[in-house]
Structure formats: C-alpha cells, structure tokens
A and B are shown apart, each in its own frame.
Chain A
Amino acid sequence: MKLKATLTEHGSRLLWKNFLPTIEKFGKTCQVLLGADEVHFIQTSLNTDGVHVTARFAAETLFDTATYRCQSKHYNLIAFQVEVGLLLRVLKGAAATNAHVVDVKLTIRQVTGPAGEPQSKPFLSFTASGASTNVVQDVPISRPFSPAEVTALVAAKDVGSYCPAYLDLVPGLAAAQAIVDRLKAVDDCAMLAVCRGGDAHLLVQTTSVALGAQIKDLSVYPQTAYVAAACDRSKPVSEQLQAALENGTAVSVHVLLKQLARVLSTSQLTEPAQVLLERRRR
C-alpha cells in the first residue's frame, strides 16, 4: 500500500477554506477514499447524526498528477478514517506559513502505546515546505480499511446513482434557506417533496397548522426524467402537491428541519453551481 501526493495550492485552499469546514459541521470524523482518479470525503451516519455527506474531487483538482501515487492490492483504492479538525488544522497551518509545497504520504510509525509498549500506527504525514521553513506534521488515522470495508465505502459514495430524478435548487436556494430556518420554529420535522415537473415542496403539518412552500420551475436532471405540465398551475399549491404525489410524478421524504437547514447552509461555503434534491429509493 503506497500513498504519496503533492497538494496543489488550489486544492489545499479548497480543502481548508471550503470543504473541510463544511464537513466538520456534520461530524468530527470523516472517511477518505483515495483512488487513482478520484478522491472522496465521505461521512456516513457513523460520522454524523444522520446526514450522509459525500465530496468528490478529481485527483488533479487536489493533487499534482505528476507525483501522485496511490497503490494498493484492492483496485488501487485506499481508505481510512480521519479526524476532520486535525486535517483542517494542518492545512490551515501550511497556508499560514506560506508553504510553497505540501507533500502528503501514508506512513507507519512506532509510537508508545498506553501501557508503554511500542506500537505501529498509521499516520498521514504532511510536509509543508516554505521559503525558510519546513514543517512536518503527522495526523493519526485509522487502520486503512480492509478490502471489504473499502467495497462498502465505494457503495456508500454512490449514494446518488439510484435516483430517478434531481432538481437543481440553486435559483431558490436563498428563499429555501430562509423558509427552512423559520419553519424550525413551527415543528421539528417537515416533508420534502420533489416533483418531476420541476417543483420542490416543503410542508410542515401539525394538528393546528399546515404550512407549505413550493419552489417552482427548477431544472430537472436527468432531462429524461422531466415531466412537462406535471402540475395544474390553476389549482392551489397544496392540491398541486397532493395530485403529484398521487399520480407518481412526485416523491416525498420526511426530514428533520435542523438537518435540512445545516445541509442548505453548506452552500455558503462551497458556492455550488448546482444543488440537487432527490429522494433515494431504498
């Protein structure tokens, strides 16, 4: 098993400025899956309180492809779990010392165990080389995943591949965020529905109030999933939703508003081109 890479300046900034802070909001730890072409940062419900997070990067976005080596006996995939805060601190530190180059490699080091006996432990070793300083920092990581664990993680990262339809929420993102934040006062849980006509619905229902919002005419992906005129616009919004759920053009889930708000707020850090909403079939 061999991992050696040089972080590009852009890649390093993306990580410490945008993505790692986002990931840190959802949980303290995250799973990293490295392959020859792609790098994934994944948080399953083991890492978070229920939200599933996947950040996928092309290897060349983060690393200098000329020096990138990722080799293992299992399809050249390497995976491990790491504490997000430590990773973030190392990369921020490298940026703060104006390092030109940050090299990363996977190492095994002898450390003293709790009972005083020597132990071999895996580390991610970061070497930040600047004009006048070289800083080497080792971040402890979990034991690299076994082939079975890697396979499970690969399946977990493909969370989106089963979805029949997505909506791009970007045009209504600010409004959706404002509404979700305020809906939290009304109830903990909301129904989120995605309609293949391009509408997203949020609905909070308690014994004394039904409060809904419809975000209209969003782009539907893939385009084959788009159903033109799925909704009768002449009807009240609540009836449009009901009709779409009944005729199968819309699917719905119940989500905790607290978690939905956190997911939507990540867009402030990552400035996405698309925010896709969907319901995964289980």
Chain B
Amino acid sequence: MAQTTETPTAGEEEIPRAVLGFANVRSFAAALQCIRSGNKQTCTVSISSGGVSVVWEDDSKSLQGSVFLKPELFSRFECGAEDRHEFGIQLQLLLDTLAVFASAAAPMTAHYPGPQGELVCEMSDPTLGGNQQQQPRPALGLMPAGTGPGAVCTWARIAAMEAGAVVDLGAYWTEPASSFLCPGSSLKEAVDDLEWPGGAVELVMVQDPPRLLLAASGHGSLEVELPASSISGFNCCVAPELRHAYKYRHCKAAFCNLPHARDCAAISTKVSIDAHGLLKVTHMLGLDPAGPHGAGRGGLAADNPSALLESQRLYDSAKVAVVQFLLQPTEEEGMAA
C-alpha cells in the first residue's frame, strides 16, 4: 500500500492522507443508504489500512448500524499501514452529495483530510463530452481529466465533525449464539407486514422442529412464520425455544432499508442472537451489480437458500460490502427470556 506523499503547502506539516477511488458511486451510495433511518444522523467514519467503516448509533444507544468496506472494494485505496483517520459526518449530507456524483457514470476519488480537515470528493467525467477518446487519468486522479465540450468536473468538500465515541455493542457479544440465514427480501417483507399491530417485534426460534416466527402485538396481533425452505444454517442453541422482543422502529431500520437490486445485489442476510438476546443482522451486498453475482433477481441466497458456503466464498473473492446492525432487546422481554 503506497503512502501518499503530497507536497507540503506553505511550510505546513505533511499530513498523511487517505485516498479512496470509487469505481461505481451509485452502489456505494446504495450500501450507505442501508443505515439511513432519519434526516439527522451523524456517522463516524474510520479509515485505516484494513478498510473503511461507517458506524451510526441511535440516540437510544440500543441500535447500531454500520457499513464495512474492504480495501478491495475501492478502485484505489491508499492509507498508510499505521494511519487511522476518524471523523464524524452527517449521513444525509454525504448521501445527497454522493447522489450528485452518482448522476454521472465516472469514477470518483475521495481523500481525507482536505486543507481544512474536510472530506474532499472529486470526479471528472470526460465521457459526457461527446465522442472524444477516454483520456488516461493523471496519477493522483484529483486533477481535472475531462476534456471536450461539456465534460463535467464535480467536486465537493464535506465538513468533518468530531468523531463520536461509539461503544461497539458487539463487544458485549456473548456466546453461545443462535443464528440463521434468510434472504433479506423475505425478512423485509415480514417486518413490513408487522407494522400495523404497532407493538414490539418478537423473534422466536423453535429448536425442534426448526421454526422461525416473527410476531408483533399491540392493538391487534400478527404472527409471520418464515417458510423452512427460505431458511438455512438454522442453529438454535436454546431449548425448547428462544424468544426475544425488539422495538419495531429498530427492526425496521435493520431489515427494511435494503437497496434496490439494480444498485446493489443483496447476496445474503445472516441473523444471530447472542445469549442475552443481542440481535445481530448482517447483510452482505454485492457492490458490482453489473458483475456475474448481481445479475440474479434477488441475489444468490434468494435463489438458493443453502448457499452458505457459496456466500462465504463470494465474500472472500468478490466485491461485497458488509452492512451490520446490532439491536438490544427491549428490557422486560429480555429479562423474561
């Protein structure tokens, strides 16, 4: 991994900066969109040689959402092995900005920190200028490369805020944990349906025979059983059944923001529950929808629910972003369980 060396300006100290290249802005935006659940979210972005993570914590402290992006996902990834950049950013602002960039098909470059400690994004799109040849991009990718009439250079500087101190709920993860895999679209449908009773969502795993139920009761009650055919890797370690309740709002945030398959293919969704009822929802999203993995209608796991190993192999080899949510159970139910 190359260390970026930028000529220091006006005798300033040289700050090592991270440079990220985005080949397909639209799918990155779609992945980030997954953790959006309001207009006023502040996320903590951290960039290190291991990858980029964007973490958001709900004000209640009992819901966390995160997106993890491996270095391999970026067309360019420069971050010193020792460096770790961490800053806060308004998620909605970042998404609105990415939407402007996503309107063009060109690759985008982002670097941090900029001259005033901000996140700087740049893109130049020579393809819009008509029929001229693609120009070779300059080495740093930050200088305008587009030529020809109508070529567009887009740039943005987004103010970075102080990084919020997020305590990773995952640190409290206690084995043994129960888990299952299920297509994200089925879970989304089930959770969408559970909105009308207006109560907390109860997740029930029955050990033998394996059954998976989602139920909500408020001014009415509704129970959804997910068909065994769509569940795989079912492992319930509490006999006879495991039962925890979660706030509906949290479940909606965790299950119902999956991106459109056009932008980002949902490869698989894994749900785990630890010994204390902490719920972990992991969506794996293919960031290369044009590629062979994203071509399927609902992603690979939707076509073939027993694709556990397959999805692991895909994760290792392909362009997969990991979106993860951690939900704490609502208190009284958590005690009862």
Q: Are these two chains actual partners, yes or no?
A: yes
Interface residues of A (CB under 8 A from B): 170-176, 178-179, 181-183, 185-186, 198, 207-219, 233-234, 236-238
Whether the pair B97, A214 counts as a contact (CB closer than 8 A) is: no
- List the B residue with the shortest CB-CB distance to A185: B96
Please, how many angstroms separate the alpha-carbon atoms of A238 and B118 in the complex?
Answer: 14
Docked Cα-Cα span, A214 to B27, in Å, equals: 24
Which residues of B, 86-116, contact A by the 8 Å Cβ criterion?
90, 93, 96-97, 99-100, 103-104
Is A209's CB under 8 angstroms from B93's CB?
yes
Instruction: Tell me the total A-B contact number using a CB cutoff of 8 A.
Output: 108
Cβ contacts under 8 Å, A186 to chain B: 93, 96-97, 100
Chain B residues with Cβ below 8 Å from A233 are 143-144
Among B103, B143, B149, which residue has its beta carbon within 8 angstroms of that of A216?
B149
Which of B16-24, B62-70, B124-132, B239-247 is the contact stretch?
B124-132
Report whether B130 and A182 are in contact in the complex, using a CB–CB cutoff of 8 Å.
no
Residues of B within 8 Å of A238, CB to CB, are: 155, 157
Nearest 8 A-B pairs (CB), nearest first? A171-B150, A172-B150, A178-B103, A171-B149, A208-B159, A211-B156, A214-B153, A182-B100
* With A178-B103, A182-B96, A182-B103 as contacts: A209 and B159 at CB distance below 8 Å: yes
For residue B122, CB closer than 8 A to chain A, the reply is yes
Take A178-B103, A179-B100, A236-B142 as given contacts and tell me if A212 and B150 are in contact as well, using a CB distance cutoff of 8 Å.
Answer: no
A214, B144: Cα distance in complex, Å:
10
How far is it, in angstroms, between the C-alpha of A78 and the C-alpha of B143 when the chains are bound?
55
Specify which of A176, A207, A216, A238 lies most central, judged by the most chain B CB atoms within 10 Å of its CB: A216
State A30–B151 Cα separation when bound (angstroms). 36
Select which of B99, B104, B130, B155 is within 8 A of A171 by beta carbon: B130
Across the interface, A209 reaches (CB within 8 A) one of B152, B153, B154, B156, namely B156
A212 closest partner in B (C-beta): B155
Within 8 A of A (CB), among B274-326: none
Known contacts A217-B147, A237-B155, A238-B155; decide if A175 and B104 are in contact (CB<8 Å). Answer: yes
Taking CB atoms and an 8 Å cut-off, the chain B residues in 76-93 that contact chain A are 90, 93
From the candidates A171, A209, A218, name the one contacting B158 in the complex (CB within 8 A).
A209
Nearest CB in chain A: distance from B274 CB, A: 37
Q: Which residues of B contact A215 (CB under 8 A)?
A: 150-152
Determine which residue in B103, B125, B146, B157 has the highest number of CB atoms from chain A within 10 A of its CB, and name it. B103
* Beyond A175-B150, A214-B152, A214-B153, 14 extra complex contacts between A and B, CB < 8 Å: A173-B150, A176-B152, A181-B103, A185-B96, A209-B158, A211-B157, A213-B100, A213-B154, A215-B150, A216-B129, A216-B149, A217-B150, A236-B143, A237-B155
Partner of A217, one of B93, B143, B149: B149
Q: For residue B4, give the distance in angstroms from its CB to the closest CB of chain A.
A: 16
B148, CB-defined interface residue at 8 Å: yes
Chain A residues closer than 8 Å to B155, beta-carbon distance: 211-214, 236-238
Q: What is the interface residue range for chain B against chain A?
A: 20 to 34
- Smallest Cβ-Cβ distance to A173: which chain B residue: B150
Q: Is the CB of B147 within 8 A of A234?
A: no
Report chain A residues within 8 Å CB of B151.
172, 215-217
A172 x B149 contact (CB < 8 A) = yes
Closest to A199 in B: B153
In the assembled complex, the Cα of A16 lies from the Cα of B148 at a distance in Å of 36
Find B104's partner among A178, A219, A234 (CB 8 Å cutoff). A178
Of the candidates A179, A183, A236, which one forms a contact with B152 in the assembled complex, judged by CB atoms under 8 Å apart? Answer: A179
Complex formed: what's the CA distance from A182 to B103 in Å? 8
Q: Which residue of B90, B100, B144, B149 is within 8 Å of A208 (Cβ)?
A: B90
Q: Which residues does chain A contribute within 8 Å of B100, judged by CB atoms?
A: 179, 182-183, 186, 211, 213
Cross-chain contact A182 with B99 (CB below 8 angstroms): yes
Residues in B with CB closer than 8 Å to A175 are 103-104, 125, 128, 150, 152
Known: A209-B159, A217-B129. A172 touches B152 (CB 8 A): yes
Interface hits, B142-192 → A, CB 8 Å: 142-144, 146-159
From residue A21, how far is it (CB to closest CB) to chain B in Å? 25
State in angstroms the CA–CA spacing of A208 and B149 once bound together. 31
Which residues of B220-254 are within 8 A (CB) of A? none
Write the chain B residue with the least CB distance to A170: B150
CA distance A208 to B125 in the complex (A): 25
Q: Which residues of B contact A183 (CB under 8 A)?
A: 100
- Listed residue (A173, A176, A237) with the most chain B CB atoms within 10 angstroms of its CB: A237
A91 to chain B, nearest CB (A): 34
Q: List 9 A-B contacts (CB under 8 A).
A: A171-B128, A171-B129, A173-B150, A208-B93, A211-B157, A215-B150, A217-B149, A234-B143, A238-B157
- Bound form: Cα–Cα A238–B93 in Å: 19
| Chain B residues whose CB sits within 8 angstroms of the CB of A208 once the complex forms | 90, 93, 158-159
Query: A173 to chain B: which residues have CB within 8 Å?
Result: 150
With CB as the reference atom, state the residue of chain A lying closest to B89.
A208
Q: How far is the CB of A215 from chain B (nearest CB, A)?
A: 5
Task: Give Cα A175–Cα B152 distance, bound, in whole angstroms.
Answer: 7
Smallest CB–CB gap between A242 and chain B, Å?
12
CA distance in complex: A170, B100 (Å):
19
For A216, the chain B residues whose CB sits under 8 A away are 129, 144, 146-153
Closest to B126 in A: A216
Q: Which residues of the partner chain A approach B152 to less than 8 Å between Cβ atoms?
A: 172, 175-176, 179, 213-216
Partner of A237, one of B122, B125, B129: B122
Residue of B nearest to A209 (CB): B158
Residues of B within 8 A of A219 (CB): 149
